[in-house]
C-alpha cells in the first residue's frame, strides 16, 4: 500500500532539511546578517513533517492510531526533533543546535523515504502493550538522536576552544556546560525509555500464544540485549569515571550509531521461526512488532 504522496512529501522535506543543513553549517563559519533563514527552514521542516504525520494518520491509514508503519515512526521522530530545535535554538538556550540537528534529520528523512518506498509494511497493533512498545522505542530513539546532536555540538565547541578561536566570531554557540548537561539528560531519558521498549517487547514476544520455550534465542533479541547492556554499563560507569566532557559526547554519538546498526542488523536477520504468526492475523501482509521495531530499510528481496 505504497502512498506516492508520502514519498513525494518526504523527498521535498529531505530537500528542505538538506538546504537547512547547508545554511546552518555555513553560518558556523561566517556570521550571517540574519538568523531568519535558518529559523524559517527549521520551522518549515517541522511543520511539513507534522503535516505529513497527520495526513498519514487521518487519510492514509484512516484511523486515530499513529505509528502504523516504520515510516510514521521516523516522521514522528523528525517532527519532535525539529520542534525541540525550534525551542532550543534561541540564544538563551542552545544556539547553534540547528547546524548539528539538520544533517541528522536529513539522514532520518532519507531513511524514511526508503521505508515508505520499499518496506511499507504495516504494524499489527492489537493491544495497548504493543502501542506502548512502539511508542517507547521511537521516543527512546528520539532522545538518543538528541543526545547525539548535543554530542556533535560539544565536540565542535570544544574544538573551537582548543583552537583558541575568538568566542564572538561566527554565530552564537551554546556553552559546553549546557551541552554536556543536555547529553547526560537525553542519554538517561533515552536509555530509560528504550528499556521500557525492550521490556515490553520481551513481554509481547514471550506471551505470544504458542511461543517456543526457547523464544529468547533469537538474533534480534540477543543483539538488542547486548546493545542495551552496553548502554546500561555506560550509564552506570558514569558515576565511577565521570561521564563528562568529550567522553560523554563520543559515547552519545556511538550510541546513535549502535542504535542504527541494531535497527539495520535486526531487520536483516530472518524472522524467528520459533514464533509462529498469530492465528487471527489478517490476510494482508504484516510483520511482527519486534521486526517492525527494527524498522528495516532493506528491500524485501534482500531480507
Partner 1 sequence: MRILMLGANHRTAPLDLREKLALGGQSLHDAMDRLTNRFPLAEMVVLSTCNRTELYVARASHESPTFDELGEALSDLSGVDTQRLGAVTIQRENEGAVTHLFRVACGLDSMVLGEPQILGQVKRAYDLAISHKSVGMVLHTVFQQALTCAKQVRAQTGIDRGRISVGSVAVDFARQIFATFRNKIVVGIGAGEMAKLILKHLKALEPARLWVTNRSFNKACDLAAQIGLSTQQGGARAFADLDELLVEADIVLSSTGSREPIVSAQGFGPLLRRRRRRPLFLIDIAVPRDVESTVGTFSNVYLYNLDDIQQVLENTRQNRHHELGCCEQMVCDHVRSTMTQIRQRDLGKLIQQLRKKLHDLGRSEQQRTLRKLASAAPERAGDILEEGTQRLVNKILHLPLSKLDLHHNDAPLGFYTAALRRLFDLEGVAEGGGPIVEKKESDPRPQIVTRPLSMMKDESHTP
Q: Is 175 an interacting residue with respect to partner 1 (CB under 8 A)?
A: yes
Measured from the CB atom, the residue of 12 and 156 that comes closer to partner 1 is 156
Q: Is 245 an interacting residue with respect to partner 1 (CB under 8 A)?
A: yes
Q: Is 261 an interacting residue with respect to partner 1 (CB under 8 A)?
A: no
Out of 95, 157, 201, 295, the residue judged to bind partner 1 by CB under 8 A? 157
Minimum CB distance to partner 1, residue 138 (Å) = 30
| Distance of alpha carbon 104 from alpha carbon 82, whole angstroms | 11
Who contacts 267 (Cβ-Cβ below 8 Å, separation ≥6)?
291, 294, 295, 296, 297, 298, 303
| Distance of alpha carbon 157 from alpha carbon 38, whole angstroms | 19
Q: Is 173 an interacting residue with respect to partner 1 (CB under 8 A)?
A: yes
Q: Is 151 an interacting residue with respect to partner 1 (CB under 8 A)?
A: no
Q: How many CB atoms lie within 10 A of CB 77?
A: 24
Segment lying near partner 1 (by CB under 8 A), choices 75-83, 185-193, 236-244, 256-264: 236-244
Segment lying near partner 1 (by CB under 8 A), choices 57-65, 113-121, 159-167, 197-205: 159-167
Segment lying near partner 1 (by CB under 8 A), choices 108-116, 125-133, 244-252, 283-291: 244-252
Segment lying near partner 1 (by CB under 8 A), choices 52-60, 122-130, 167-175, 283-291: 167-175
Locate 252 and state its grid cell.
552519545
Out of 30, 36, 63, 168, the residue judged to bind partner 1 by CB under 8 A? 168
Q: Is 246 an interacting residue with respect to partner 1 (CB under 8 A)?
A: yes
Who contacts 112 (Cβ-Cβ below 8 Å, separation ≥6)?
10, 71, 74, 75, 78
Binding mask 22-51 for partner 1 (x = CB under 8 A): ---------x-x------------------
Q: Which class for 167: exposed (0-12), middle (13-18), buried (19 or more C-beta within 10 A)?
A: exposed
Locate 25 and state its grid cell.
553549517
Taking every pair of Cα atoms in the chain, the longest distance, rounded to a whole number of angstroms, is 66
Minimum CB distance to partner 1, residue 184 (Å) = 13
Measured from the CB atom, the residue of 128 and 240 that comes closer to partner 1 is 240
| Distance of alpha carbon 267 from alpha carbon 258, whole angstroms | 14
Q: Which class for 267: exposed (0-12), middle (13-18), buried (19 or more C-beta within 10 A)?
A: buried
Minimum CB distance to partner 1, residue 104 (Å) = 23
**Mutual angle of helices 4-29 and 70-88, in 10-degree steps:** 30
Minimum CB distance to partner 1, residue 247 (Å) = 7
Q: How many CB atoms lie within 10 A of CB 270?
A: 11
Segment lying near partner 1 (by CB under 8 A), choices 12-20, 50-58, 142-150, 237-245: 237-245
**Could you tell me if 95 and 171 are in contact, meaning their C-beta atoms sit under 8 angstroms apart?**
yes
Locate 17 and state its grid cell.
532539511
Out of 44, 176, 211, 269, the residue judged to bind partner 1 by CB under 8 A? 176
Binding site for partner 1 (CB under 8 A): 31, 33, 157, 160-162, 164, 166-169, 173, 175-178, 181, 241-242, 244-247
Amino acid at each position: 500500500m505504497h502512498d506516492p504522496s508520502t514519498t513525494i512529501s518526504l523527498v521535498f522535506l529531505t530537500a528542505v532539511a538538506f538546504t537547512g543543513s547547508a545554511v546552518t553549517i555555513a553560518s558556523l563559519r561566517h556570521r550571517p546578517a540574519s538568523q531568519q533563514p535558518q529559523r524559517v527552514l527549521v520551522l518549515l521542516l517541522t511543520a511539513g513533517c507534522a503535516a505529513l504525520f497527520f495526513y498519514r494518520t487521518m487519510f492514509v491509514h484512516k484511523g486515530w492510531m499513529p505509528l502504523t508503519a516504520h515510516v510514521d515512526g521516523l516522521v514522528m521522530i523528525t517532527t519532535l526533533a525539529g520542534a525541540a530545535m525550534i525551542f532550543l535554538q534561541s540564544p538563551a538556550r542552545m544556539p547553534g543546535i540547528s547546524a548539528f540537528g539538520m544533517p541528522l534529520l536529513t539522514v532520518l528523512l532519507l531513511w524514511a523515504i526508503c521505508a515508505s518506498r520499499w518496506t511499507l509494511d504495516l504494524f499489527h497493533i492489537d493491544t495497548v502493550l504493543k502501542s506502548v512498545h512502539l511508542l517507547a522505542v521511537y521516543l527512546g530513539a528520539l532522545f538518543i538522536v538528541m543526545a547525539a546532536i548535543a554530542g556533535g555540538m560539544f565536540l565542535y565547541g570544544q574544538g573551537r576552544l582548543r583552537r583558541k578561536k575568538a568566542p564572538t566570531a561566527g554565530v552564537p554557540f551554546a556553552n559546553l556546560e549546557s551541552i554536556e548537561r543536555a547529553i547526560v539528560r537525553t542519554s538517561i531519558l533515552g536509555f530509560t525509555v528504550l528499556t521500557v521498549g525492550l521490556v515490553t517487547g520481551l513481554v509481547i514476544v514471550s506471551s505470544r500464544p504458542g511461543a517456543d520455550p526457547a523464544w529468547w534465542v533469537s538474533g534480534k533479541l540477543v543483539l538488542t540485549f547486548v546493545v542495551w547492556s552496553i548502554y546500561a554499563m555506560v550509564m552506570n560507569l558514569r558515576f565511577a569515571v565521570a561521564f563528562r566532557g568529550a567522553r560523554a559526547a563520543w559515547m552519545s554519538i556511538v550510541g546513535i550509531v549502535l542504535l542504527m546498526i541494531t535497527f539495520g542488523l535486526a531487520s536483516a536477520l530472518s524472522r524467528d521461526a520459533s514464533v509462529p504468526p498469530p492465528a487471527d492475523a489478517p490476510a494482508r501482509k504484516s510483520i511482527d512488532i519486534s521486526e517492525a521495531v527494527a524498522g528495516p530499510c532493506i528491500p524485501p528481496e534482500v531480507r
